């Protein structure tokens, strides 16, 4: 049985891969990050879709039994096209954890920190309409944050200045929660916490995506539940530096001190 392919525009999807490995330790994973073309969030929708479909085709050609699109931007732009091209495959996307935020803060103020592409797509508009009633939702694009994470710059004054500028309108509204709507962003959770303070809950969708992947594989009779799993990491840059950063991020602590409500 082939591996579970995990795809992202760069290194961000490693935050999802961590959850996948935690929930399915006997599985074999093939992670591919397209850092050569990152960030996706500032690209036109058609280009994001074309890149995502091309990488998915290559991963399926290599024997992947399932595909996890561990990128909010690529999911927003291409998940429908992926499922239309491979209707019999297990294909799972990710979306901002807005439903979780609304359930935990009914009637509250919720910021959504994401890429420009994720926030402009119809998929996000539908998510808003479906689950954000009675809440005040503030969209906050932050394309620069992807580039900070791609460089491995997860802390420091420059990052915090960028975050403070982007988050200023959200913080002025007194948010109850901040949804990290890009899989790169959890790796900067420490810097985000310093900017937003201790009382704003930080949420992401990686654990829910891992649960859905496990459920879909189990239903399809494709879940491996015994034996030792493995992780293979590849990147379109194919440089020692990006592969070393990927291995570092796979094991780096994120969301320190957060309760495990979404496990």
Q: Which residues are annotated as a binding site for substrate?
A: 8-9, 40-41, 72-73, 183-184
φ/ψ of residue 102, rounded to 5: -65, -40
DSSP string, 60-128: HHTT-SEEEE--HHHHHHHHHHHHHH-TTSEEE----THHHHHHHSTT-EEEEEE-HHHHHSHHHHHHH
Residue whose structure tokens are 């990128």:
71
Of residues 135, 142, 162, 182, which has the active-site annotation? 182
Of residues 71, 140, 142, 162, which has the active-site annotation? 71
Instruction: Report in angstroms the alpha-carbon separations of 243 from 28, 32, 45, 153, 240.
Output: 18, 11, 27, 15, 5
Whether the Cβ atoms of residue 135 and residue 106 lie closer than 8 Å to each other: yes
φ/ψ of residue 66, rounded to 5: -160, 160
> How much is the CA Rg of the chain, to the nearest whole Å?
17
Whether the Cβ atoms of residue 206 and residue 19 lie closer than 8 Å to each other: yes
Residue 185 burial (C-beta neighbours within 10 Å; 0-12, 13-18, 19+): buried
Residues annotated within the binding site are 8-9, 40-41, 72-73, 183-184
Among this protein's residues, is 109 annotated catalytic? no
CB atoms within 10 A of CB 148: 22
Among this protein's residues, is 162 annotated catalytic? no
With a CB cutoff of 8 Å and minimum separation 6, the contacts of 130 are: 99
CA distance 165 to 241: 29
Catalytic residues: 71, 182
């Amino acid at each position: 049985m082939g591996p579970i392919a995990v795809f992202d525009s760069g290194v961000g999807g490693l935050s999802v891969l961590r959850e996948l490995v935690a929930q399915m330790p006997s599985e074999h994973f093939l992670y591919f990050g397209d850092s050569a073309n990152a960030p996706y969030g500032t690209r036109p929708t058609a280009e994001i879709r074309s890149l995502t479909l091309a990488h998915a085709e290559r991963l399926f050609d290599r024997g992947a039994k399932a595909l996890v699109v561990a990128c909010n931007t690529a999911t927003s732009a291409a998940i429908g096209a992926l499922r239309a091209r491979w209707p019999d495959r297990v294909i799972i996307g990710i979306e901002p954890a807005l439903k979780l935020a609304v359930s935990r803060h009914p009637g509250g103020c919720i910021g959504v920190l994401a890429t420009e592409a994720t926030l402009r797509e119809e998929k996000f508009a539908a998510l808003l309409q479906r689950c954000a009633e009675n809440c005040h939702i503030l969209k906050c694009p932050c394309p620069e944050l992807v580039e900070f994470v791609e460089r491995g710059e997860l802390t420091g004054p420059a990052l915090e200045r960028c975050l403070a500028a982007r988050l200023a309108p959200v913080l002025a509204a007194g948010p109850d929660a901040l949804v990290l709507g890009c899989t790169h962003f959890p790796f900067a959770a420490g810097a985000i916490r310093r900017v937003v303070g201790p009382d704003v809950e930080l949420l992401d969708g990686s654990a829910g995506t891992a649960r859905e992947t496990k459920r879909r594989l189990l239903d399809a009779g494709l879940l491996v539940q015994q034996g030792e799993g493995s992780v293979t990491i590849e990147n379109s840059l194919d440089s020692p530096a990006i592969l070393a950063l990927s291995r570092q991020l796979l094991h780096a602590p994120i969301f320190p001190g957060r309760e495990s409500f979404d496990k």
